[in-house]
Structure 1
């Protein structure tokens, strides 16, 4: 049995260190099981709440910082057929629907599909309005608002991976 001097100046045996490591590994396993069990539902619900809140803001005039951008993006995507309040209403309804499917877990697969379509709209201004999104100093505040949604995409991928494990069919 070998010994090691520890911070207090006392000698510690390797078997004592092994016991500490075993306890640390046991504690880590408990934390890991909790995170594995609670993490994905927490991510799904928090992502849903983000979409419910940001979607609801679209129904309140002047509340969403991207009102004008939403209207102009819809106008481009719909070849001028949809803009203004109609664009905000459609976007808000879609975001609230997605959020509710994530919060409740009901119709989650449909919500994931709707979210994929939503992300197309969310990132479209980076393509359609590139000149407005990036200045010589880098991305504008609006572009930063859009680019942070990359995190939402990653979160949605985790939620989707778990939701799509179950086969399609009757329960």
Structure 2
């Protein structure tokens, strides 16, 4: 490996360690804003019926119909805006933790409807939330002080290979 390639890899690793989690945070925020905004308009979100039915069950019927949909929409847009702007981020992450529990609740509440044999499209839609949860964990770790740094030992190993 040449010194130029080693230098390029080192620069790329440094850039990624500085920026990748912020890019992940903003990207996740945009997803939440987009999905939440859809829920403000009845009949537009493909997850509307399932999300409303879930909140109705979780709230023991205290929230239902369009009121439940507005709560979900507001919560998702709030989460998204905290992620995009970085303002009130820890509050947004706490709200997101509750939302993620709600996202997976249909598996427990409506399992036979979601899996009448093969998984329905709704079951598959919920399954992608595993990635959202993993992204939230990385962003949460950063918000609590964790840092991503390039592995210096990797750079050292590359230098040794070039020298050999």
Instruction: Judge same fold: TM > 0.5, yes or no.
Output: yes
Task: State which of 161, 167, 170 in structure 1 corresponds to 2:141.
Answer: 161
Task: State which of 76, 98, 101 in structure 2 corresponds to 1:117.
Answer: 98
Residue in 2 that maps onto 1:55 = 36
Q: Deviations over 1:96-143 (max 9, x none)?
A: 00000000000000000000000111111011000011132x321100
Secondary structure of residue in 1 paired with 2:40:
coil
Matched, 1:28 2:18: no
Aligned length: 146
Structure 2: gaps of 5 or more residues: 147-164
Distance 1:61 1:71 in 2: 11
Which structure 1 residue ranges, 4+ long, deviate > 3 Å from structure 2?
none
Distance 2:49 2:87 in 1: 32
Distance 2:10 2:115 in 1: 46
Paired residues for 1:21-100 under 5 Å? 21-100=2-81
- Higher strand content, 1 or 2: 1
Distance 1:141 1:52 in 2: 22
Distance 1:34 1:123 in 2: 34
Distance 2:81 2:5 in 1: 39
The structure with the larger Rg is 1
Residue in 2 that maps onto 1:145 = 125
Secondary structure of residue in 2 paired with 1:106:
coil
Cα distance, 1:21 vs. partner? 3.5
